[in-house]
A and B are shown apart, each in its own frame.
Chain A
């Protein structure tokens, strides 16, 4: 076998060749450097938050079946320009005066929660139960049963969402988000009617 002569030569005359004891310690510094370089690279390229989605179901286009709903239950939201929401109720077959609000916490959300509670006075609004649940005042089962009975109550609010051509995609997502937050089980996205466009003119938001 080939052997590397590491001896200085001439030191061990005649005697057994003694291998020089080399330290087994290796300098790890370049390896660590490389390791951290790669870590930095992967950390920067990794996108940790996966996008989330919303699931929406639209009615079947092929059927023309319509279902009448009680007008006391319905609220119509018109999404208009400048991130504003115009909403109105129906009374005796005619729309009531439109009201303007926005997407803030005290805007459309407060309205929806208030109106839902009005139609279902036995139960408080979702926000209150959520608060109680997070403070451990009620247990999970009560919380869930309250939530589902709010959602499934027979007089619960039915929301009709109509977006105008001036609104943005963001507005639609925001309003669908409010449906989730306010626990509204029944809502529909419907095309806007000319009558409603007229109505928007009266509030300068067409």
Chain B
């Protein structure tokens, strides 16, 4: 019986289409990505059904972690540079130019003003390692209020948002809301996660 000859086919596949798709997706993800600014703490905000998006620009965010430490962050490098100059004058703390530059690159921080120059002299790797003590926000020494005030002086369009952890205790939130109100801001945002699951 004659053997049936199976024609040998080349194993080469045309990859062009696949490459096209791969690079299309790559382009999409590259454009859609917004790198997360490095945050000194991770917080897990509570969820809500609210569908208002956080504004992209002119935001100042007060982050409260689950150990009730307060962190402060503001968008915009030029505003941050201006803010630290103003706060330096108000608190009699001298900042060098390199410290100001370093600060303007810092998105979120939780350091009392007195320790800030020392903190800014550190290298960023060292900075990531240390546990930031949080900004004092009690009635005796309310530095948070000064930050809010100076942030508003640097950028008068600024919106304020509170980002708390689920486990954050209420008294500290109340204190921060009072601080904000004392600075004559009566409207602010509370950052939440999207509700998923049981909601209907």
A interface residues (Cβ-Cβ under 8 A, vs B) = 25, 27-29, 31-32, 35-36, 38-39, 42-43, 45-62, 79, 105, 163-174, 176-177, 180-181, 189, 191
* CB–CB A54/B190 < 8 A: yes
B105: chain A residues within 8 A (beta carbon):
none
B3 within 8 A of A: no
* CB–CB A46/B32 < 8 A: yes
Q: 24 A-B Cβ contacts within 8 A?
A: A35-B26, A42-B29, A45-B35, A51-B191, A51-B192, A52-B54, A52-B194, A54-B50, A54-B192, A56-B187, A57-B186, A61-B186, A62-B184, A169-B165, A169-B167, A170-B46, A170-B166, A172-B173, A173-B45, A173-B46, A173-B47, A173-B164, A173-B190, A180-B50
Tell me the chain B residues, 1-58 only, with Cβ under 8 Å from chain A.
Answer: 12, 15-16, 18-19, 22-23, 25-26, 29-30, 32-36, 45-54
B123 within 8 A of A: no
Number of B interface residues in the complex (CB < 8 A)? 55
Q: Choose one: A42, A52, A61, A163; the contact of B33 (CB below 8 Å).
A: A42
* CB–CB B194/A32 < 8 A: no
- Interface secondary structure of B, over-half rule: mixed
Interface string of B167-200 (1 = CB under 8 A from A): 1111101100100111010111111111100100
* CB–CB B16/A51 < 8 A: no
Closest A residue to B187 by CB, please name it: A57
B184: chain A residues within 8 A (beta carbon):
61-62
Cα separation A187 to B64 with both chains bound (whole Å): 24
B interface residues (Cβ-Cβ under 8 A, vs A) = 12, 15-16, 18-19, 22-23, 25-26, 29-30, 32-36, 45-54, 64, 161, 163-171, 173-174, 177, 180-182, 184, 186-195, 198
* CB–CB B193/A52 < 8 A: yes
B29: chain A residues within 8 A (beta carbon):
39, 42-43, 46
A32: chain B residues within 8 A (beta carbon):
15, 18-19, 22
* CB–CB A56/B190 < 8 A: yes
* CB–CB A169/B173 < 8 A: yes
Given the interface contacts A38-B26, A180-B50, does A168 sit within 8 Å of B33 by beta carbon? no
Cα separation A28 to B13 with both chains bound (whole Å): 10
